[in-house]
Structure 1
């Protein structure tokens, strides 16, 4: 009898992708665009300046191996944030706060799992779309996993509602300062212009995401054997028993501290330019506060923190290796070559097909440029002039970029936030890929329809600049 094919460990899959990227540096022509340094310190490419390198760089096997520790150093902000959150949440659970919160949520949503799923997808999408939250969701994963287990659901449902909200929020964002504002600024169209369309499509796309997650959850509720993670160990697996402690005053005080952390984090991100280092510091402060209020001894709190960090050590490794894929391509000078090669065919398509082509291109490039703002600085200066030539207004170019960057965030293994979320929930990447791919296809089809209609109805014609970005970008 033929043996069933066994999907390799996620680490092996990521290392294999690094090898493919390494081989590509030998096969893909190496080249680069000239770049300009903007007033904000970011670099943007100059359209029409792509040139092949006179002498190709040949990365050696040693270069490949050195890229691994370099990738860990490059992703250190996400890695250490994940480890800190894991340790702090372990302290919170030792006080009984996490279990008590799950018990309280069960009382409210225990018989309405569909309402829980919708509210999480909606609220996370709203937050991502408004202020660009992403890594901030990692602390909620453990709570949602425990809640889902207690409701006879599974870890995949918890990850599904979290990542779906995050990805859709970025994809159809009306206000996101890291994507919408950056891309519109580069395109030289008014900031937040065209907001009416993005607000109009928000709820329909949220409903697509909710329907996908709820359809899966219903199958698990009907028969636990339908769970994609049924045979896997899961954090808070004991929460299948719903004998949770009551939410007392100490628990409420600790949760109030968590709410304060979230408010401070949102303020810091939006007003002070904070990111993961500062957020990690705020969570450490909450951990100390939690240990004091929860009356944990110093040794107990320290031991719990170390246990929480150890539980996420494998996740930290995956995040580091995932960063290595893009690093290899940057070292081999093929990242700009890929962008140039993908953008060339678009000028030969009609406006509607070109808009969809830009969307597909942005989706693929997100694998290699997982930073939303970084992707905007590389691709928008190239695609905006192409759109000018073939009748795709810059507002549509920005929308195609948003769709491509946001939706693919849900599935690309180079996205450190995604790897952190599935790692905390104990969901292997290959299983997540199987769950998410049908959703991504649905979202891409819906987004393609929106782009075709946007072109047909001259979306963005009222803010289209008369001077070409290419001319203005030339030094």
Structure 2
């Protein structure tokens, strides 16, 4: 950074983006597609039905201000999940379990941080690819921050492991029920079809992510002052432990409770359609179990829980404001206009370049529609017929969608899960952007090559609707 250049606070950046979205509602033509209600109750747009709105909406400055508390209400599920997890982890830390776990992991990986980085990215990618986990990683953030600090690394390394695993898992998912399955259903190609290619590219993309985080780790090992978060307060300030307690039977029982909680959450997600409310309830149950096994008094547990919640107030505010950007665009009737305008140029490209264009378009639209399934319902009904016109198989259109949704999730500030993760780790968005942008460019290049080869070799021709 040049001398005198000052990066605004993440909250300032998000409010600025929200204001730009508000100004855009006065400048961008307003319009919408017709929508239909699917069997699952979700709304999907109807291709070829875009019309300019007859009744133009003019949002007043007061509407802009009202959108801020509305955004907090719209993001309440992730906000209260973050609060719940933060409070419960503070209780677990009070029992010594978190410190004992960090000490145990240090004994195993203290001299081999590269193994830790690969394992975390690989396992998180596998979970996101298989069952669409994302917010479930938030409980691991502070544990990994503490572990990295003990290894003389920084919070950025910890966040890099978590977000890289999450983003790559979504991007190259084999059968994520919230993205791939939804998109294939809308594109009218058989569910789980084309899985061979997605499985084949999984490890190469994981290795790209691992190499990026590993290189950063080596850089700060050689020169700690090169850290992108040097001088930033650590979320564990004053709580770093030098003499880690040994894992005793109580600690192991509490950790087994955490494993059971996560396993039950995975089952609930895949079998019962659970989401953050149910996951929050499971963590509260684990918290009660932790209080009993850890022999904490009711008052001590209450105080620790509140301390944990207080430490995440900034994170909750960022998550809420991030939701307001898309909310403003929806209110101002310009979201569908942007989707329509971005889909038009694809018809003027050759099939190979058009597949890459689809990928880029989905990446940009993810800024405004950060929900994976929500983006599928808005864009896939358009991309499927567009792909037919330009000679791109619908299976490739699905692949372009999941690349665009997954990889861009790692960097867009409207992604509430990302903002929750970096907020919990105390990493400013500007620093994260600096770390993540080169990785995104590498992943986009690799994804573009995969898409063009997929077009060249006729990927998805066997399931293309006639």
> TM over 0.5: same fold?
yes
Structure 2 match to 1:367:
367
Structure 2 match to 1:230:
230
Say which SS state the counterpart of residue 413 (structure 1) adopts.
Answer: coil
Instruction: Please report how far the alpha carbon of residue 120 of structure 1 lies from its aligned counterpart in structure 2 after TM superposition.
Output: 0.3
Structure 2 match to 1:94:
94
Structure 2 match to 1:134:
134
Structure 1 match to 2:462:
462
Alignment of structure 1 residues 438-457 onto 2, 5 Å: 438-457=438-457
Instruction: Verify: 1:304 aligned to 2:291, yes or no.
Output: no
Structure 2 match to 1:353:
353
Structure 2 match to 1:473:
none
Instruction: Please report how far the alpha carbon of residue 3 of structure 1 lies from its aligned counterpart in structure 2 after TM superposition.
Output: 5.1
Structure 1 match to 2:147:
147
Structure 2 match to 1:337:
337
CA distance in 2, matches of 1:258, 1:316: 23
Unaligned ranges ≥5, structure 2: none
Q: After TM superposition, what 4+ stretches of structure 1 lie above 6 angstroms from structure 2?
A: none
Instruction: Please report how far the alpha carbon of residue 390 of structure 1 lies from its aligned counterpart in structure 2 after TM superposition.
Output: 1.1
Instruction: Verify: 1:175 aligned to 2:171, yes or no.
Output: no
8 Å Cα contact 1:36-1:43 kept in structure 2: yes
Instruction: Please report how far the alpha carbon of residue 237 of structure 1 lies from its aligned counterpart in structure 2 after TM superposition.
Output: 4.6
Alignment of structure 1 residues 369-388 onto 2, 5 Å: 369-388=369-388
8 Å Cα contact 1:32-1:51 kept in structure 2: yes
Instruction: Please report how far the alpha carbon of residue 241 of structure 1 lies from its aligned counterpart in structure 2 after TM superposition.
Output: 5.3
Q: Deviations over 1:226-269 (max 9, x none)?
A: 11112011123557654101110100010010001001100111
**How many equivalent residue pairs?**
465
Q: Deviations over 1:277-329 (max 9, x none)?
A: 00001101111111111111110000000000000011000000000000000
CA distance in 1, matches of 2:365, 2:242: 44
CA distance in 2, matches of 1:238, 1:421: 20
Structure 1 match to 2:205:
205
Q: Deviations over 1:423-450 (max 9, x none)?
A: 1100011100100000000000000000
Q: Deviations over 1:364-414 (max 9, x none)?
A: 000000110010011011011111011100000000000000000000011
Instruction: Please report how far the alpha carbon of residue 54 of structure 1 lies from its aligned counterpart in structure 2 after TM superposition.
Output: 1.3
Q: Deviations over 1:337-358 (max 9, x none)?
A: 0000000000111000100000
Say which SS state the counterpart of residue 36 (structure 1) adopts.
Answer: strand
RMSD: 0.9
Unaligned ranges ≥5, structure 1: 467-475
Structure 1 match to 2:186:
186
8 Å Cα contact 1:326-1:369 kept in structure 2: yes
Structure 2 match to 1:289:
289
Instruction: State the TM-score, normalizing by the size of structure 2.
Output: 0.99
8 Å Cα contact 1:72-1:321 kept in structure 2: yes
CA distance in 2, matches of 1:237, 1:408: 31
Structure 1 match to 2:401:
401
Structure 2 match to 1:65:
65
CA distance in 2, matches of 1:149, 1:317: 26
Say which SS state the counterpart of residue 411 (structure 2) adopts.
Answer: coil
Structure 1 match to 2:33:
33
8 Å Cα contact 2:99-2:241 kept in structure 1: no
CA distance in 2, matches of 1:308, 1:437: 31
Decide whether aligned partners of structure 1 residues 229 and 3 sit closer, same or farther in structure 2, where only a CA change above 3 A counts. closer
Decide whether aligned partners of structure 1 residues 240 and 72 sit closer, same or farther in structure 2, where only a CA change above 3 A counts. closer
CA distance in 1, matches of 2:241, 2:58: 57
8 Å Cα contact 1:315-1:419 kept in structure 2: yes
Instruction: Please report how far the alpha carbon of residue 138 of structure 1 lies from its aligned counterpart in structure 2 after TM superposition.
Output: 0.1
Structure 1 match to 2:251:
251
CA distance in 2, matches of 1:322, 1:186: 28
8 Å Cα contact 1:146-1:237 kept in structure 2: no
Structure 2 match to 1:278:
278
Alignment of structure 1 residues 103-118 onto 2, 5 Å: 103-118=103-118
CA distance in 2, matches of 1:238, 1:398: 48
CA distance in 1, matches of 2:10, 2:64: 19
8 Å Cα contact 1:149-1:239 kept in structure 2: no
8 Å Cα contact 1:322-1:415 kept in structure 2: yes
* More deviation, 239-248/146-155: 239-248
CA distance in 2, matches of 1:174, 1:339: 26
CA distance in 1, matches of 2:9, 2:128: 30
CA distance in 2, matches of 1:269, 1:339: 30
CA distance in 2, matches of 1:12, 1:260: 40
Structure 2 match to 1:159:
159
